[in-house]
Structure 1
Amino acid sequence: MVGADGRGHGAAFTGAVPVFGDRTRDACVVVPGIMGSVLEDAATGRPLWGVDLATLTGALSDDALFTALRAAPQEQEADADTARRTPPTRVRATRLLARPWWLPIFGGLDPYTDAVTTLRQITMAPEAVVPFPYDWRLAVSYNGALLARAARAHLECWRQHVAATPEWAAAGARQPRLLFVAHSMGGLLVRAALEQDPELAADTRAVVTIGTPFLGSAKSVLALNLLHAQAKPNRLVRRVQEMAATLPGVHDLLPGYRCLDLGLDVERLTPADVARFGGDTDLAARSLDGHAHHRASGFVLPGHRAVVGEAQPTIQTLEEQRAAPWAVAGRQHAFDVEEDGELVRDPATGIPARRDVSGDGTVHLPSARAGTESVHYVYGQHGTLMRHDEVLRQIRRIALERPQGVHLGGDGTGPGLQTPELGGVLGAPLTLTVTGLDSPAGVTLSVHSTTTGRPGHPLTLRRDPEWTDGALSAHFIAEVPDLYRVVLDTGRHTPLTQLVLVNEPDA
């Protein structure tokens, strides 16, 4: 019998005790990366970005479209104060990218649909999750101010919704807070928003960044350098470079770390370097000043978890071409730095030590994991991380975290493996159960001896009539007493293993 206060006190409660699904009470904001928002002409509604790939390759492709995407002087100057007073209105961001997209140097980008869906499945209601599309052409500081305002409005609205829903009261009285899930440049926006608004930072439980270039990306310089790097650039390459050279958003991705390889030394980029390589002096100066500010500020994102792609060939540093000093080449190595900031050098030659630290193909490891020791690594390319099964699982897991002592376990949506708790008896069928899968297609369940290592034959999974939620099961009959390892391989997740002992009937 349960009392009115849930602890056996007060009036007796005789109804069914409510059991809630594992869901978060928090408000979630999904912030895409550069190129990740659909853009349109605010006056005419004409799509400018992210709707039809023919705008890049087909009949809809023309110079006027890329000209419209270039930032005008007023847009180049827009900062956090502009966002609060008189934001530019020429181009409007309408929604997150819903189809794959691609640009030279920038590469491919998958849509954000799976990430939004994942979060909506584990919140108290789908309305708890909102995407934040933004005009990624403009400065991070400008878009960060817009994000701060939108996130505050969403949190207050969601809190009112939770308070007005009596049936959710039994799930707990904790005030909802914010969870940001940000890809690529989106993580820079979150940092800007929370640094600009300390009260919003206090209302934030966690920030999940996926492939965010906190120290910048050397690849952004190659996008600005496209015309110099190719003797005869094609039309698309030319349009992209001419557009990128005007965009504050692209310049805000410039590397702030020592990345210019001079042979016996390594230096940080200067605005003059960026201009020589095809960028804008003023936009570069503002970006590089921002990097200097963050190196000195010590600002830490609340509850920061970084999901980082690794083991992909990644441009990490840059080298000027001697024959053409206005052209720059990307190099797949970085430089080790001592705690005092000095380069690690070969004692015999004095040459700086070069090391390939890899990354996700766009952002090298030190940049993506800067500012936190809570890092999860995945094998994945930058533009496809937001559809990566392991990334989605991490997003779900972090969203469902509880304070210590309240957390009740897994989210229940991944594959599960269950073996008899009391082991098996020689000669009798051993039932092995697989949960969390819709179908046995492409799934392998096998058993092998831990003593000999000899693999057994794959087992046949079928629907288990003993389970009401559609679990799968298979039967195994051991030939000899032994400790067996059961291995479940879905082809999509890290294989699950479990041990089970099979013994003589009388043992």
Structure 2
Amino acid sequence: MFDDRMRDACVVVPGIMGSVLQDAATGRPLWGADLSMLTNPLLGRGFLGALHADAQERAADAGTFRRAPLARIRASGLVSKPWWLPVLEGLEPYTELTAALRRVTLAREAVLPFPYDWRLAVAYNAAVLARAARAHLTRWRQQVAAQPGWRAAGERAPRLLFVAHSMGGLVVRAALEQDPELAADTRAVITVGTPFLGSASAVLTLNLLHADARPAWLQRHVQAMAATLPGLYDLLPGYRCLDRGLDVERLTPADVARFGGDADLAARSLAAHTRHWEQPFQLPGHRAIVGVAQPTVQTLDEQERAGLAVVVGRQHAFDVDDDGELLRDPATGIPARRNTYGDGTVHTPSAQVGTGAVAYVHGQHGTLTCHDEVLRQVRNIALERRPGGRLAGDGPQPGLDVPRLGGTFGEPLALAVTGLATPAGVTLSVRSATTGRPGHPLTLTRDPDRADGALTARFTADAPDLYRVTLDTGTHPPISQLVLVSPPDTGRR
């Protein structure tokens, strides 16, 4: 009976943007329920304004939860529909991941979806998770003990399996650090695209105010919201990411403030990076699933435009030796650059740190949790089977590149496919993510102006909407990404 079922309790921990948020007093949905908050300026300004973290929320940590939990905004569930934000891009629902786990457990009650207020600090949410996971394990052990058919002679007591996407992996790590007894009761942690070293996308989100993108109202209000959110600061890159030409520097709080963020929030998060570097915490039974081959911003170049500090993302990283020194070109002394790729949001070194048990898949960050290969890997790890191999280094490495700031209705979207030598047998399709309505057929051609030799296509939407772009090579599982096409900018901010 137990060959195709696991007896352990499971907790699904989503990433940033992955929980539906409500006003705790009124029940009014604030996030994850109505896409009009991103397409209608009259509604969107109110929604995004309500999500700003207040002074108490910005200061909250694990001790805050234990003394007096915050109560202004409530996380009511995992997102059940596709979602999107500029720079952070698309997020698919966690429905398929949760269903896949429930199919390999003794009962659906074994799987606990854990929504949390992703606006808040990782440390605060970790305390919430630790309490919820302990209560879930206790209930599940009681349920298993009450069912004679579920008990097996000599079997150990059920333990915990965490499946965490993106920022969720950081929350799990912090929860197990805070509660060693919970860590001892954990069989395994599966992280999917978790930015253990941070993500340059967090800086680009804080710098949105300086981005030359439309609709201006959306960029402006998302940046204003993001600048208040401790959770976003906990995604700041802790590695050397500022390209200064002859040197590469780590972010400082002053840098983050110059780019549009809050120096105090940055200082707290960057200090946590330093602590994890000096005192690494080993996740029990850690298995990392890492998206690869996707064009991914890895480092940052600071420029000045009209007196503003503008951050430009670069798709290369820098290697360091065992002593932490930059590897340099022996002839010029210039730091050696290398494209490490990633999942479009988190570069490969950040997602695979801390474990040698890594499975690589071709997939975009926000869509990994419904990726066929990811679901297969998760099921195998849950059942304690061989999880599957690493990707071979040879052969095509397909990647998908869509506009990270979205598009505007009436203007074509530039789409690109990287890593393929020819468009033969390759299909790039676009359809509405809200209605399923298909778009126009796309033709891929080689773009001679792109240094990466990408295949490109242009898509003009027939209505403002959230669209799903899907790349099917015929030999790899399909790769998809979401992109928002907004109504024309009215100039109102």
* Coarse TM-score class (shorter-chain normalised): 0.7 to 0.9
**Cα-to-partner distance string for 1:417-469 (whole Å, 9 max, x where unaligned):** xxxxxxxxxxxxxxxxxxxxxxxxxxxxxxxxxxxxxxxxxxxxxxxxxxxxx
Q: Distance in 2 between matches of 1:40 and 1:232?
A: 28
Residue 11 of structure 2 aligns to a residue in which SS? strand
On the 8 A contact 2:213/2:219 being kept in 1, the answer is no
Aligned 8 A contact 1:217 1:316 in 2: yes
Among 41, 47, 70, the residue aligned to 2:23:
41
Q: Equivalent residue for 1:437?
A: none
| Residue 113 of structure 2 corresponds to residue 131 of structure 1 | yes
What is residue 89 of structure 2 aligned with on the other side? 107
The code of the aligned residue for 1:349 comes to T
The residue type paired with residue 175 of structure 1 is: A
> Aligned residue for 1:405?
none
Structure-2 separation of matches of 1:325 and 1:355: 28
Match of 1:239 in 2: 221
* Partner residue of 2:181 out of 190, 199, 202: 199
- Superposed CA deviations along residues 292-335 of structure 1, whole A, max 9, x for unmatched, are 01001121000000000000000000010044451111100000
**What's the CA shift for 1:42?**
0.4
1:101-152 deviation line (CA, Å, top 9, x unaligned): 0111110000000000000000011100000000000000000011011001
User: Which of 383, 389, 403 is equivalent to 2:366?
Assistant: 383
Q: Quote the Cα distance in structure 1 between the aligned partners of 2:341 and 2:186.
A: 31
Instruction: Verify: 1:365 aligned to 2:348, yes or no.
Output: yes
Q: Residue 348 in 1 paired to residue 331 in 2?
A: yes
Structure 1 residue aligned with 2:243: 261
Match in the other structure for 2:151: 169
Q: Aligned partners of 2:23, 2:161: CA distance in 1, in Å?
A: 31
- Match of 2:440? none
Q: Percent identity?
A: 70
Structure 2 CA distance for aligned equivalents of residues 163 and 105 of structure 1: 47
- Shift in CA distance, 88/353, structure 1 to aligned 2, threshold 3 Å: same
Instruction: Indicate the SS of the match to 1:358.
Output: coil
Per the normalisation by structure 2, the TM-score is 0.77
Q: Compared with structure 1, are the counterparts of its residues 269 and 410 closer, same or farther at alpha carbon in structure 2 (3 Å cutoff)?
A: closer
Structure 1's 492 and 89: CA in aligned 2 closer, same or farther, altered over 3 A?
farther
Counterpart of 2:379 in structure 1 is 396
Could you tell me whether the CA contact under 8 Å between 2:36 and 2:44 is conserved in 1? no
Aligned partners of 2:102 and 2:111 also within 8 Å: yes
CA distance in 2, matches of 1:96, 1:491: 32
The question of 1:148 aligning with 2:130 is answered: yes
How far apart are residue 59 of structure 1 and its match? 7.7
Distance 1:20 1:343, change over 3 A: closer
Cα deviation for residue 410 of structure 1 reads 9.5
Q: Say whether 1:211 aligns with 2:193.
A: yes
Q: How many angstroms apart in 1 are the aligned matches of 2:144 and 2:331?
A: 66
Verify the 8 A CA contact 2:198 2:239 in the aligned structure 1.
Answer: yes
Amino acid at match of 2:16: I
Relative distance call for 1:168 and 1:372 in structure 2 (3 A) is: same
Cα distance in 2 for partners of 1:331, 1:315 equals 5
Give the 3-state SS of the residue equivalent to 2:155 in structure 1. Answer: coil
* Distance in 2 (alpha carbons) for counterparts of 1:321 and 1:112: 38
SS, match of residue 272 in structure 2: helix
Question: What does residue 101 of structure 2 align with?
Answer: 119
* Greater RCO (CA < 8 Å, at least 6 residues apart): 2
Give yes or no for contact 2:200–2:236 (8 Å, CA) kept in 1.
Answer: yes
Q: How many residues align?
A: 394
**Maintained 8 Å contact 2:38/2:218:** yes
Equivalent residue number for residue 184 of structure 1: 166
1:236 alignment partner AA = L
SS for the counterpart of 1:319 is strand
| TM-score for both structures, normalised by structure 1 | 0.75
2:257 counterpart letter in structure 1 = A
Q: CA deviation at 1:56?
A: 1.4
- For residues 156 and 59 of structure 1, what CA distance do their matches in structure 2 show? 46
CA distance in 2, matches of 1:493, 1:180: 27
1:491 Cα deviation after fit? 6.0
In 1, Cα distance between the equivalents of 2:259 and 2:127?
30
d(CA) in 2 for partners of 1:175, 1:60: 54
Contact in 1 for aligned 2:378/2:387 (Cα 8 Å): no
Q: Give the alignment of 1:50-69 within 5 angstroms.
A: 50-58=32-40, 61-69=43-51
- Which of the residues 289, 293, 317 maps onto 1:334? 317
Tell me which of 264, 287, 298 is aligned to 2:269: 287
Deviation at 1:61, TM superposition (A): 2.1
Q: Distance in 2 between matches of 1:258 and 1:265?
A: 9
C-alpha distance in structure 2 between counterparts of 1:345 and 1:32, whole Å: 39
Maintained 8 Å contact 1:54/1:60: no
Aligned partners of 2:83 and 2:308: how far apart in 1?
A: 32
Offset at residue 173 of structure 1 (A): 2.5
**Aligned residue identity for 1:81:** G
Unaligned runs of 5+ in 2: 389-472, 478-493
- For the 8 Å contact 1:390–1:493, the answer to whether it is kept is no
CA gap of 1:231–1:340, structure 2 versus 1, over 3 A, is: same
Cα displacement (A) at 1:233: 6.0
Confirm or deny: 8 A CA contact 2:37 2:45 kept in the other structure.
no
Q: Secondary structure at the match of 1:376?
A: strand
Cα distance in 2, alignment partners of residues 168 and 354 from structure 1: 55
| Structure 1 residues 312 and 493: alpha-carbon distance in aligned structure 2, compared to 1, 3 A threshold | closer
Provide the alpha-carbon RMSD of the alignment.
2.1
How far the C-alpha of 1:58 sits from its partner, in A, is 3.4
1:389–1:492 Cα contact (<8 Å) kept: no
1:339 Cα deviation after fit: 0.8
Question: Structure 1: which amino acid aligns with 2:358?
Answer: V
Is the 8 Å Cα contact of residues 291 and 360 (structure 2) preserved in structure 1?
yes
